[in-house]
């Protein structure tokens, strides 16, 4: 139904879309996910030409809509769009927001437009608000109206640009359920979203965007359970890490503890686990590894996986090997003895760099 060929979009200082080639079929419900700044919204806005692509072609039902003489206004009537910020017309009542485009653009009579608008308002559960103005409604209500306004035009495809990002958590549900209802009724849709669960449940295809294009594409099952490519995996498992390097005796551990604080607050990691990790880190590095060499060289990586709920500590260092079990710190040894803690101590024989010793620790919450 829609085909993108070699679509490219450049800005002065960024190229969000390098070369997109994809086909959207009738009845598809596509979720577009990915880190911010990877061109998800740009892709959507290029499809209905709100952004003019730098090069490449877009075909709608076999017609090239990027061609010069193409009447964009006619094409746009077939493509609905729902915005993050709702964009209801502030000077019109709710009913007029839905009626006026039908009258102006589809040439319907006032009565026809009204009947259709009321029917849609009932569908989204807001018939009683017909004569209110947009600023009298909550965000969730406004977004449902915006969806109704789009539906009133009988579009072939609806593009949702982060429809729930501007909403209070309490209102996300009402909007999602309207979209879910549409998905079930077979409307072709493309949704840019940060709500992974929602994306997973609603769509039949998922585009993961990065590196200027669709980095990985698949069914929700493939993308969310078995992502094959590294960046997808990292994104899905929400892995992000803290990294440090100790290369002198007077390394300041307070930096680590400060950053660790912020990191744990952001990811909601329990203080108990964080202090266990900090205790282990100081015992291993400050009290032992740093004492053994005059010029220590130690790399540290701290990582938390939301998915598996494990807090990782990786240490690699140069020089002589140190066995954590030789520690004389009893508190540290008792941490090691806990069921929720795992430790691996290795000497890497064929290391590609000179960091030939490694210690990795896992801190779990419960078994």
Which residues in this chain contact another protein in the complex, by CB under 8 A? 48, 50, 73-74, 76-77, 79-81, 83, 85-93, 95-96, 100-101, 104-105, 110-111, 114, 131, 133, 146, 149-150, 153
- State in angstroms the smallest separation of the CB of 358 from another protein: 52
At 211 the three-state DSSP class reads: coil
| Closer CB to another protein, 93 or 188, in the complex | 93
Using CA atoms of 9, 10, 15, 16 in order, give the dihedral in degrees to the nearest 10: -40
The rounded distance, in Å, linking the Cα atoms of 48 and 38 is 18
- State in angstroms the smallest separation of the CB of 108 from another protein: 12
| Closer CB to another protein, 107 or 337, in the complex | 107
- The C-alpha angle with vertex 45 and arms to 44 and 51, in degrees rounded to 5, equals 145
| Closer CB to another protein, 87 or 356, in the complex | 87
| Closer CB to another protein, 124 or 285, in the complex | 124
The rounded distance, in Å, linking the Cα atoms of 114 and 101 is 11
The rounded distance, in Å, linking the Cα atoms of 179 and 145 is 12
Query: CB–CB of 297/356 below 8 Å?
Result: no
Query: CB–CB of 103/110 below 8 Å?
Result: yes
| Closer CB to another protein, 86 or 304, in the complex | 86
At 90 the three-state DSSP class reads: coil
At 53 the three-state DSSP class reads: coil
């Amino acid at each position: 139904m829609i085909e993108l060929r070699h679509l490219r979009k450049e800005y002065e200082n960024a190229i969000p879309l390098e070369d997109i080639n994809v086909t959207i079929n009738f009845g598809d419900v596509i979720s577009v996910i990915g880190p911010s700044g990877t061109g998800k919204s740009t892709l959507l806005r290029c499809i209905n030409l709100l952004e003019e692509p730098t090069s490449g072609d877009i075909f709608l039902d076999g017609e090239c809509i990027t061609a010069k003489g193409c009447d964009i206004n006619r094409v746009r009537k077939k493509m609905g769009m729902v915005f993050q910020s709702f964009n209801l017309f502030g000077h019109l009542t709710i009913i007029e927001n839905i009626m006026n485009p039908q009258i102006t653009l589809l040439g319907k009579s006032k009565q026809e437009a009204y009947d259709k608008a009321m029917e849609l308002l009932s569908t989204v559960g807001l018939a009683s608000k017909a004569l209110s103005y947009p600023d009298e409604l909550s965000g969730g209500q406004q977004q449902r109206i915006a969806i109704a306004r789009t539906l009133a035009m009988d579009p072939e495809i609806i593009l949702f640009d982060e429809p729930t990002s501007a909403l209070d958590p309490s209102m996300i549900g009402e909007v999602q359920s309207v979209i879910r209802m549409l998905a079930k009724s077979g409307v072709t849709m493309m949704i840019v979203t940060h709500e992974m669960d929602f994306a997973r449940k609603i769509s039949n295809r998922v585009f993961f965007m990065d590196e200027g294009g669709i980095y990985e594409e698949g069914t929700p099952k493939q993308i969310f359970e078995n992502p094959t490519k590294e960046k997808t995996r990292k994104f899905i498992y929400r892995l992000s890490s803290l990294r440090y390097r100790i290369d002198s005796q007077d390394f300041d551990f307070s930096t680590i503890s400060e950053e660790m604080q912020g990191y744990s607050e952001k990811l909601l990691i329990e203080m108990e686990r964080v202090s266990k990790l900090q205790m282990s880190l100081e015992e291993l590095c400050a009290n032992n590894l740093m004492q053994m060499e005059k010029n220590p060289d130690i790399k540290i990586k701290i990582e938390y996986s939301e998915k598996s709920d494990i807090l990782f500590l990786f240490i690699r260092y140069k020089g002589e090997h140190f066995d954590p079990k030789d520690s004389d710190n009893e508190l540290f040894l008792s941490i090691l003895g806990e069921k929720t803690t795992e430790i691996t101590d290795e000497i890497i024989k064929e290391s590609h760099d000179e960091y030939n010793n490694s210690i990795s620790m896992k801190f779990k919450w419960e078994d």
